[in-house]
Amino acid sequence: MEASQPSKSIPRVSGAPLIGNLSEFRASRLDLLLRVSRECGDIGSFRIGPVEVVVISSATLANSLLVGHAEDFNGGPIGRIFMPLVGDKSLIFQDGAPHREQRKLLAPSFHPKRLAEFCQSMTRYTQEAASGWQDGQMLDMVHEMTILTMRIIGKTMFDVDFQNEASDLREAMMVTLEHLDHMSSSAPIPLSWPTARNKRARAAIATIDNSIRAMIDERRRDATDRKDMMSSLLQARNDAGQPIDESQIRAHIVTFFSAGHETTALALSWTWQLLARHPEVYARVRQEVDALGGKTPGFEDLPRLSYLQQVIKESLRLHPTIFMIARAAVRDVEIEGYPIRKGQMVLIPPYCIHRNPEYFPDPERFQPERFEPEREKSRPKQSYMPFGSGPHTCIGSHFAMMETQLIMATMLQQLDLELPAGEQVKPQVLTVSLRPSAYKMRVKRRGSDAPQTKVA
């Protein structure tokens, strides 16, 4: 009988006595993750006080954990920070059979036919926003992209225009998201504690619950398909013919709203400043958009915007809006021979994997051609995963890519955006999301060089 192979040891970076790498984790999380990747290689660890946290920087190991051992891990303590606000029935907190059942129920909401129905709202709201920006105006890009994507998600999810309707729900959503940001950037205080911030958050959650309940009641009285996600959720049935229950719908809506507008806004904000810093890429994207002949871009035009898609993908490689994936072992397990103890936190940072020169030579260089189809196929799985991987891959990834392409193409038909000399854009982290610091760009309205915009 052969003796079993001994487990491989996981190297660890140095840290301060007692607190380990706590200060680095709080103050410079990206630098810490890159340090672990650089010093330890495919897998390493650091300490937060006495707690050892494992970091995986290899596509092979990421695939083994997120796909091969998906059932052995859950979201862990980082995910639980958000549970009081989005609910324990949110898709992001479910695993195994319940998770598979919910994804099956939600799949029709993200079918290409349903996504195609959202395109008109995306381009119309973008045209309205762009038409209101004056030549020479300085735009706060993160703010403007957030306002635009929030309006789009309101229409595609609820069939409401947050600019003119449902102001109570809009404000409650904003308060909830602001509270999530606060919880992400500080030691979280239980929502039950009677602080002024918590009271405001609880009131906002109550408003969201009441608003969604009223919408559900109204939709059940009038079953007309409004071509939005709420309609899809109410129409969904499980294998036994049962509809999704109200609490489940509420959890999905809050999750989709928070993820659906913020991640796209961040992707847009990162991509615009990259384009402005690379005029040769900007010119090629503009040329591709102009080839539409002024036609408002639609779902059928997405294949004609292939270079723009490469630009967005490269932007997400350098600045993945979810810069790390957090999982925790639910039992003792080995990942390619490396032992992970029950309860141990494992971080898989796309931010680091996307900078592995084995997958992406000269990784800090902005080079959209990396995502030409044949070059994409040549790379290993999980070498690029801005939307996660495995069973928990973001269900809205196609929605997000489509929205980002359509918004950028529609804006480029009307205007150019210039980054003032010396404008600095720095990464900011909040739990798992990567945001650009606030920055401004100058509007330059396009004149006779732009094809006249036509309604599709």
Q: What is the C-alpha to C-alpha distance for residues 16 and 432, in angstroms, rounded to an integer?
A: 24
Q: What is the C-alpha to C-alpha distance for residues 130 and 407, in angstroms, rounded to an integer?
A: 10
Which amino acid is present at 287?
Answer: Q
* Local structure of 238: helix, strand or coil: coil
Question: Is residue 106 scored above 60 in pLDDT?
Answer: yes
pLDDT of residue 186: 59
DSSP string, 288-308: HHHTTTTBPP-GGGGGGGHHH
Q: What is the C-alpha to C-alpha distance for residues 125 and 158, in angstroms, rounded to an integer?
A: 15
Question: Is residue 1 scored above 70 in pLDDT?
Answer: no
Enumerate the β-bridge partners of residue 322.
433
Asked if residues 286 and 414 have their Cβ atoms less than 8 Å apart, the reply is no
- Return the percentage of the chain with pLDDT > 70, whole number: 95
Q: What is the C-alpha to C-alpha distance for residues 405 and 122, in angstroms, rounded to an integer?
A: 10
Angle at 242 (CA atoms; ends 236, 247), nearest 5 degrees: 75
Helix, strand, coil distribution of the chain in percent, nearest 5: 55, 15, 35
90 CB neighbour count, 10 Å cutoff: 24
Segment 340-344 mean pLDDT: 96
Q: What H or E segment, with its residue span, contains residue 217?
A: helix 196-221
Lowest mean pLDDT among 22-26, 235-239, 365-369: 235-239
pLDDT of residue 188: 67
Q: Which residues contact 400 (CB under 8 A, 6 or more apart)?
A: 260, 263, 264, 267, 387, 394
pLDDT tier at 292, thresholds 50, 70, 90: very high
